[in-house]
Amino acid sequence: MFPPHVMGRCFACQMMALMLQSKRWSRRRAEPHFWGQGVCHRRVALNVEIRHALRADLEACLQMDGSCVSDHIWQISRRESQGQIVLTLSEVRLPRPVTVPYPRTPEDIIEIWRGVDALLVAEAGGQLCGYLDLRAEGWHSTARIINFIVANGYRQQGVGTRLLGAAVQWARTRRLQYLMAEAPAQSWPAISFYRKLGLEFCGFHDRYYSAQVALFFIRRVS
């Protein structure tokens, strides 16, 4: 079942249209799982498989909780003087940890999926434990990760690293030069994750999300 807050005739119609009309969600079992399987060693040894999403995976992806607990934020300040605009990004420690909600609703995610080129999922022990979507933007030779969630209970166990590695390989096979990802300025775990894996801050958009500033990170992959 879908979560109660996303039930409704319009949502159901959108979901069916997405699954039945889009060629991207055609049967993929015959395709090789060319990202293969790997063991993630941290809290628990997980045998994680990265593969293309199937139609049956979409509901589980939409139900994943993308919120996180953060004790830092990136604060952006702007100052204009004498024909100059000075922007300062500062790492600020919060007085107490806060829960940062995922910046998109399931309806938002579905709308984005209509225009993506790949949806990769991570599976461990028969359970989906994470996903990311990808869009190829050939005009600047970039693969963009728009949504990226690792399920609670599987974080800090290497699942996100495996997914990001698969995204890098996906970009390389399409001869794209860069991989770009995004995160809310309040989502310190996501920001730290991207920077740890070699993505560098490349910009921000203070009206990208409805209520949060978006930060963008990029790395060269080829």
- 151, 194 in Cβ contact below 8 A? no
**Token pair for 131:** 């996903």
Residues 6 or more apart in contact with residue 55 via CB below 8 angstroms = 19, 25, 27
Alpha-carbon 13 to chain mean position: 25
- Domain count across the chain: 1
Which segments of the chain have a pLDDT < 70?
A: 1-45
Tell me what pLDDT residue 44 has.
57
Q: Find tokens 């996180």 and name the residue.
A: 68
Closest C-alpha among 180, 182, 189 to residue 208? 182
Distance CA 182, CA 215 (A): 6
Amino acid at 75: Q
**pLDDT tens digits along 66-111:** 999 999 999 989 899 888 999 898 999 999 999 999 999 999 999 9
Residues 6 or more apart in contact with residue 77 via CB below 8 angstroms = 87, 88, 90
- 48, 164 in Cβ contact below 8 A? no
Tell me what pLDDT residue 75 has.
92
Range of the domain at 98: 4-220
Count how many residues are written for the chain.
Answer: 222
CATH of the domain at 72: 3.40.630.30
Distance CA 75, CA 202 (A): 15
- 48, 56 in Cβ contact below 8 A? no
Tell me what pLDDT residue 26 has.
46
Tell me what pLDDT residue 10 has.
45
Tell me what pLDDT residue 46 has.
84
Tell me what pLDDT residue 4 has.
38
Spatial strand order of the sheet with 178-184 comes to 37-41, 45-52, 118-124, 127-137, 142-150, 178-184, 214-220, 200-205
